[in-house]
Chains A and B, each alone.
Chain A
Amino acid sequence: MSKKIAALLLKLLLAAAGFFAVTFTVYFFNLDMKLTSKIEPFLLRHYDKMERNTSL
């Protein structure tokens, strides 16, 4: 029983460590912003193509 708990804890710990390693890498190297900055031009092109009801 205790082995199972220990294994579960280990899994949780590994998952937490994995989560931390991945997210901290994203955080520290600013990968989130580097990714979204690549998305922005596509969105802007999409907005440019939209039909709009432009009037005063």
Chain B
Amino acid sequence: MEFDWDWIARNTDSLGEHALVHLRLALLPVLFGLLIALPVGVLCRRWGWLYPPALTIANVFYAIPSLALFMIFIQYTGLTASTVMIPLTLYSLSVLVPNVVDGLASVSDPVRQAATAMGFGPLRRLLRVELPIAVPIVIAGTRVAAVSSISLVAVGQLIGQGGLGYDIIRGYQLSFPTQIIAATVLIVLLALVTDAILVTVQRLLTPWARVRGKVS
């Protein structure tokens, strides 16, 4: 088998285009997932009895294969991007909801009491104290969700919405390994870059972690 560099050179434009579509299909669901998981996590933390049912629902979705979930949604949303993005959003919830809850649980009681003593109301305490402390655990979950979402999108090509999945299937149909490798490697690269960006975001959001590291 030979790797066809010429083909890569001739097709950088279309590969780049597919990569952008791929990122959009993969990361918007994670963003939606976060937007849902944050309030749900806060509510679960506030009323503990909500957590077990919420977790069970999230886990049930996780047990459904992506291809199967795409099929189920075809009926409702047709062969559109939503059919890929809604299942991916549901998947991200199974990682994000527990991580938001764990993150909020990692705030120690003395810290919470200190915030109250300083005159923080419940909302301001949540936004200024509890959520910032939860950031590392929430981001850890976001990284897992983002990476698996990026690698899952390719399957969406079976219903015509797969970003770089197009090149994987095309390469398979033409028995042309170069195109499959190119797309697969690009997907891994997208995942690694996204992961690195999330780590950077975490460092920017938690400046105290760095300071503490230097002092000790």
Do A and B interact?
no
